[in-house]
Amino acid sequence: MDWEIIFWAALAALAFVGELLTVSFFLLFFSLGAVVGLVAAVLGLGIAAQAVGFLLASVLSMVILRPAFLNRLSLRGGEGYLGHRGITGESAVVTEEIEAGGKGMVRVGSGEFWTARALRPDEKIESGTRVRVLDTDGLTALVDTMETKEDKS
C-alpha cells in the first residue's frame, strides 16, 4: 500500500509543477484528482476506488472549476483586447520613440501595446508624449500628438 501513496503524491506534485510551468489551467485538475487518489490510498481504499476517485475529481473539477477560473482571469485583465477598430479615437502614450518616417511603440489604455507610426511621415514623436490613435493599418496604430494645456499657453 505504501507504493500507492508514493505514486499519488508524486503524480500530484508532477502535475502541479507542470501547471506552474505551463499555466494552462489543465494539469492543475489532474493534480487535484491525484490528491483525491492519495487521500483514498491513505484511508486504505483499494486501487479501484483510488482510480475512480482520481478520474471523477479530475473530470468534475475540470468541467466545473476550469471555466470559472478562466472567466475570473479574463475579468481580472481589466481592459480586454480591443481589436483593430476598437482603439481608434483612444489616447495612448508613446513608450518607444516614433522616428520620423519610421515606427515606434505606444501603450493604449492601461497596457495594450501597439506598434505605431506618426500621421505626418516627417514627424518624430518622443517617448512619454500623449497621442491619439486616428486609425490602424494592420497591427500598426496611426497616431497624432494631442494638444496639451501647455501647448496653448
| Domain boundaries along the sequence of the chain | 2-76, 83-147
Which of residues 128 and 25 earns the better pLDDT score? 128
115: which strand partners? 105, 140
pLDDT at 98 over 60: yes
59-63, 103-107, 137-141 — which is least confidently predicted?
A: 137-141
For residues 108 and 114, the answer to whether their CB atoms sit within 8 Å is yes
Closest CA to 146 of 137, 136, 134: 134
The three-state secondary structure class of 112 is: strand
**What is 83-147's CATH superfamily?**
Nucleic acid-binding proteins (2.40.50.140)
For range 60-73, the mean pLDDT: 80
Average model confidence (pLDDT) for the chain? 84
Interatomic CA distance for residues 85 and 47, integer angstroms: 57
Whole-number pLDDT of residue 149? 46
pLDDT at 85 over 80: no
